[in-house]
Every structure is written in structure tokens, then in C-alpha cells.
Amino acid sequence: MPDYNDTMKNPEQPFITDVQKLRERARTSIDKGAVTPAYAGNVEQAIDILQAVLATEIVCVLRYTMNAVTATGISSEGVKEEFDEHAKEERDHMRRVAERINQLGGTPNFNPEGLASRAASQYVETADLVEMIKENLIAERIACEHYRELIRYFGEKDPTTRVMLESILTNEEEHANDMHDLLVAHQGKPMLPEN
Ligand SMILES: [Fe+2]
Ligand SMILES: [Fe+2]
């Protein structure tokens, strides 16, 4: 994996606040899971993890929607369309995760209060088109990394949740690719090295 911290050292990218903290937050729920090996005995653990995934997806819906509305400048039309399409797909992820929480007997947490602190992705406001694309690329890469870990965590304990996350991961990888391609198109070079 690329070292996200390198991007934070670049003074040209002050909008990237603390990616390390976000990644640590994304892992917290998995660490808790280590003390609960018997999934069948503790559905609460799965619900806790999925609440963080839900918050992450909600933040993604908000970020892409805001970006689709506010993107301006030369050749922003194609980018707006891409943001809109991603916003719709993030909403689909959000809905599927909420349904799964409900199936497991939990109440999906849509409370706007504390949303940002429950999420593993960040809501960053910027007016610059290229910066928007960069922020989304970073958010997508964090999401991919987070979901890969969760897929390993759920493993055979909860194949239904695992399969759902695998399907979402496939889509997030496409999103990351889309953002990478847009960045190359608008900046001429990729911000992060290839995996
Ligand atoms: Fe998503
Ligand atoms: Fe995504």
C-alpha cells in the first residue's frame, strides 16, 4: 500500500488533515472484535462494526453530493457526472449496510450528531476541482483498506455480511480507479503510486 503519510507532508496539500488518525479509527472496532471470538454469541460486535461502516458510507454520500453540486471550472461537467454517479452508488452501499444492521437486530444509526466521528472517511470542503478529486481518491483508498480488513474479520463467522462487504469493496475499487483516472486527466500525473 502507498504511504498516505507522505501525501500529508506535502505542503501543497494542506486539506489532508490526519489520515493516520482516520485509519486508526477505522481499525478500532476490529481490535475490539479480537476479544469476541464467538460471533454467534455476540451479534452486538458485528452491529458496532457495521454502524461505523454505515457512518462512512453516509459521509461518502454527502461528500460526493456536495462535490457534484459545487464543482466548477473548465471541463467540470464530466467530473460532476462522475461525482453524481458515485453519490448514487454510495447511497446504495449505505442502504445495504443499514439493511444488514436491521437484519442483525440493530437499529441503523443515521443520527447526524457525531456522524463524522463514527466514520472512517472524512468530509472535506474545497472549491478546487483537483483537490476534490484528490480527497475522494484518498477516501476511497481508505475505504478499500478498511473493507479488506473487515472482510477478513467476518470471514466464516458471518458469510452474509462478508459477501455484502466484498461486493461493496469491488465497487469502491472502481471508485478509486475512477478518481485516479480523473486526477491523471486533470493534473497529468497520479498523486499516489500504483499498488
Ligand atoms: Fe461506499
Ligand atoms: Fe466509494
Kindly report, residue by residue over 15-73, the tens digit of the pLDDT.
Answer: 334 566 666 666 665 554 433 444 453 688 899 999 999 999 999 999 999 999 998 87
Query: Among candidates 153, 162, 164, which has minimal Cα distance to 30?
Result: 153
* 174 pLDDT higher than 60: yes
Query: Distance, CA 137 to ligand 1 centroid (Å)?
Result: 12
Query: Distance, CA 130 to ligand 1 centroid (Å)?
Result: 21
Average pLDDT, stretch 76-93? 95
Q: What's residue 123's pLDDT?
A: 85
Query: Distance, CA 168 to ligand 1 centroid (Å)?
Result: 6
Proximal ligand: closest to the CA of 138: 2
Query: Distance, CA 167 to ligand 2 centroid (Å)?
Result: 12
Query: Distance, CA 119 to ligand 2 centroid (Å)?
Result: 13
Query: Among candidates 90, 71, 99, which has minimal Cα distance to 143?
Result: 90
Average pLDDT, stretch 62-90? 91
44, 93, 136, 138 from 86: Cα distances, Å: 30, 10, 10, 14
Query: Distance, CA 36 to ligand 1 centroid (Å)?
Result: 26
**Residues less than 5 Å from ion ligand 2, measured at CB:** 140, 172, 175
Proximal ligand: closest to the CA of 173: 2
Q: How confident is the model at residue 6 (pLDDT cuts 50, 70, 90)?
A: very low
Proximal ligand: closest to the CA of 64: 2
* 195 pLDDT higher than 80: no
Q: What's residue 148's pLDDT?
A: 93
80, 96, 182 from 83: Cα distances, Å: 5, 20, 11
Query: Distance, CA 94 to ligand 1 centroid (Å)?
Result: 7
Proximal ligand: closest to the CA of 91: 1
pLDDT per position as a tens digit, 124-169? 888 889 999 999 999 999 999 999 999 999 988 888 999 999 999 9
**Residues less than 5 Å from ion ligand 1, measured at CB:** 57, 60, 90, 93
Cell of 9: 507532508
Least confident of 38-42, 93-97, 134-138, 186-190: 38-42
